[in-house]
Structure 1
Amino acid sequence: DFPICIGSSVTRGLGAGADPEVGRQAIEEDCDKVSKQLQDSDLIFITAGMGGGTGTGAAPTVAEISHDQGALTVGIVTEPFVMEGSPRMKNARSGIAELKDQVDTLITIKNQRLLEVCGRDTTLQDAFLKADEVLMQATRGISDLITIPGMVNLDFNDVRTVISKGGDAIMGLGEHSGEERAVEAARKAINSPLLEDVSIAGAKGVLINIAGDSNLTLYEINEVMSLINEESGSDAEIIFGTVIDDSLAENIRVTVIATGFNVHKNNEAEPPAREQEEPTQQDVEADPLTIGSPVLLGNGNGGTSLDVPTYLRNGHSIPQEHQEHQEPVRPAVGDLDIPTFLRRKMNAS
């Protein structure tokens, strides 16, 4: 461990007072120390409790330093309890949105869900240990894929392929023994109550690690993969590995990391402007000329239609004295190809 005390002149050794701006100033004061400590790292995890001052304000800056150094950066953060109030929740969500812009992928764990998995008799200390355990599982679930050799091996580049999909991520870990142990472990992994209330459907990338004792069978691996393939959809890029771990006894442990949710689409091309269409016969019939007022007509492309009489194209109107003795005459659509002077003679006759 290499703890770094940040912002001593800003906080005088105290906390950030639930002010994210103070947390940001604190990390900026010692960003050189942080940058030096992160040098030459390939994979960096950033964990924080969002909603207060230090985690909310400092985590995005640490992620920016990590990302600038070219490290694969994973954020794993918690969202506060609803009972902590709307200002703290607002701070948390603002910090999470800012952090999301700086990491390769982000896993968010809602503390509120502790109430769903902990009984009424669960002590406060045990409840928070449960939340810390989920953070640890998320970190270990990724690091074990890289560091523990397996029968079907995964390495850092496999992890990078999935993590670099960007956006939000969900992580689940399931363990089960007995009959249907493979399917039940997989179901637990993709339905973790402490994670977002979403399925893995729509993920762009999925990492799967299947660990079991030496009795792990090919059929069981197929059961896990079939279930997760069905849940994630055909468009997800799925990479899996298997590890033989006799310490699991008769259990199978399945770790699933699904990424690529809610990816920003800032670079999408704007749709081309719709070209103005030339008027159809129906358009002409629906828009009769108004005699006695200036009219400007065109062919839809900026030019002037030569089928319209010159005095109308020039914006002139029929003198008032002529209007009193003349009924408005509108040429039929089929006559527009006849020269104007001939149409006048035909109308006169």
Structure 2
Amino acid sequence: MLNFSDIQPIRDDTPSIKVVGVGGGGGNAVNRMIQSGVQGVEFIAANTDLQDLRKSLAPQKLQIGSQCSRGLGAGAKPEIGRNAALESIDEIRDSLQGADMVFLAAGMGGGTGTGGTPVVAQVAQDMKALTVGVVTLPFNFEAKRRRKVASGGVNELRDRVDTLIVVPNENLFSIINRRTPMTEAFGYADDVLRQGVQGISDLITRDGLVNLDFADVRTVMANKGKAVMGTGLASGENRARHAAEQALHSPLLNDNRIDGARGILINVVGGVSMGMQEVDEASTFIKEHGHKNAEIIWGAAINPDFEDQMMITVIATGFDENDEAAEKKSVASIPAMPFDALAETKDKS
């Protein structure tokens, strides 16, 4: 088994990646990322609620709309969230200066996240940053208006980002039981947002055995249509295969399918015992589930803290346009049953 522990790659071209948590839900997701030790990115919290903002762990805190909201929040009204972001657009632009890639984390359905996130996204796009939205949708038991507001927010945000990953909170019921505390349950959703950010940022910021540069990520995430994301973690015998299976069948992401994907990005992380054959096994398994002519881009890194574990992150893109239209329709209609966490990519011109 090949041992990679003594290889020390050199990187001096790391792009600037910024993560912006917009509103309360986005702020919670950013806190989760910071607590989990996500590295190689700059964190920003943007909120109309000054009290909530003061509790943020983000090094950079941005109060938006101090005049229109007076620091009291958006009152679940997206128009206030939008106006707040527009009022503070110069500050938002300043905070994103120099970013090559911008992640936007938010909960759809409220005021600040729903109304403000598309404005922040547009600023990032105008600054030519690769822009990725990672957002959650309300539970089906929540008010119809909130779910309708969330749907509108997703559709508006879709037109202002390169890639959009949507995580329905409804899918939490597939991984929790009746006695799971609410704080723990929402932590699972926050962790999916973290996985989305970390899985992508690690590919281009961490030293690896096989490094992916920023152009590689653009190749998969820009101008490729709908995309899906999944992460798997396994240990022991057959860990590579099991981690790959988990990445393709995450319950919280509603069992993502990559059938027909013409672009697949794979990141493999393991302890010093991880072998090249294991990386090949996992990559081959994932490739077999995509389009026969899929372009495969992969990276691999050693993290001694993983010991016997292997973690695999998959981002699949380039699906049929008819599938995209169906996904857009399902978001707009707010179905009673959970639907796939999806990502949609538009042409960046």
TM-score of the aligned structures, taking structure 1 as reference length: 0.73
**Partners in 1 of 2:67 and 2:262 — Cα distance?**
44
Which of 160, 168, 184 is matched with 1:126 structurally?
Answer: 184
Q: Which residue matches 2:307?
A: 249
Q: Which residue matches 2:98?
A: 40
- Aligned to 1:98, the other structure's residue is in SS state helix
1:101 and 2:142 aligned = no
Which of 154, 176, 199 is matched with 1:141 structurally?
Answer: 199
**Partners in 2 of 1:204 and 1:35 — Cα distance?**
34
1:48 Cα shift? 0.4
- Kept in 2, the 8 Å contact 1:166–1:263? The answer is no
Q: Which residue matches 2:81?
A: 23
- Kept in 1, the 8 Å contact 2:66–2:84? The answer is yes
Point out which structure has higher relative CO (alpha carbons under 8 A, 6+ apart): 2
Moved more, 254-263 or 104-113: 254-263
**Partners in 2 of 1:50 and 1:204 — Cα distance?**
29
- Aligned to 1:211, the other structure's residue is in SS state strand
1:8 and 2:53 aligned = no
Which of 264, 271, 282 is matched with 1:213 structurally?
Answer: 271
Cα RMSD after superposing both structures: 1.8
**Partners in 1 of 2:75 and 2:317 — Cα distance?**
34
1:168 Cα shift? 3.6
5+ residue gaps, structure 2: 1-58, 324-349
**Partners in 2 of 1:236 and 1:165 — Cα distance?**
15
Which of 49, 53, 62 is matched with 2:111 structurally?
Answer: 53
Q: 1:204 to 1:102 in 2, by over 3 A?
A: farther
Output aligned runs, 1:103-182, within 5 Å. Answer: 103-182=161-240
1:50 Cα shift? 0.3
Q: 1:34 to 1:263 in 2, by over 3 A?
A: farther
1:85 Cα shift? 2.1
For residue 214 of structure 1, what is the amino acid of its counterpart? V
For residue 116 of structure 1, what is the amino acid of its counterpart? S
- Kept in 2, the 8 Å contact 1:108–1:170? The answer is no
1:197 Cα shift? 4.5
For residue 178 of structure 1, what is the amino acid of its counterpart? G
Moved more, 108-117 or 196-205: 196-205
- Kept in 2, the 8 Å contact 1:207–1:240? The answer is yes
Q: 1:218 to 1:104 in 2, by over 3 A?
A: same
For residue 232 of structure 1, what is the amino acid of its counterpart? G
**Partners in 2 of 1:127 and 1:185 — Cα distance?**
23
1:27 Cα shift? 0.5
5+ residue gaps, structure 1: 266-349
- CA offset digits 1:287-321 (Å, max 9, x no partner): xxxxxxxxxxxxxxxxxxxxxxxxxxxxxxxxxxx
TM-score of the aligned structures, taking structure 2 as reference length: 0.73
- Kept in 1, the 8 Å contact 2:250–2:256? The answer is no
- Kept in 2, the 8 Å contact 1:108–1:196? The answer is no
Moved over 6 A (4+): none
Larger gyration radius, structure 1 or structure 2: 1
**Partners in 2 of 1:64 and 1:263 — Cα distance?**
24
Percentage of pairs with the same residue = 49
1:218 Cα shift? 2.1
**Partners in 2 of 1:121 and 1:196 — Cα distance?**
22
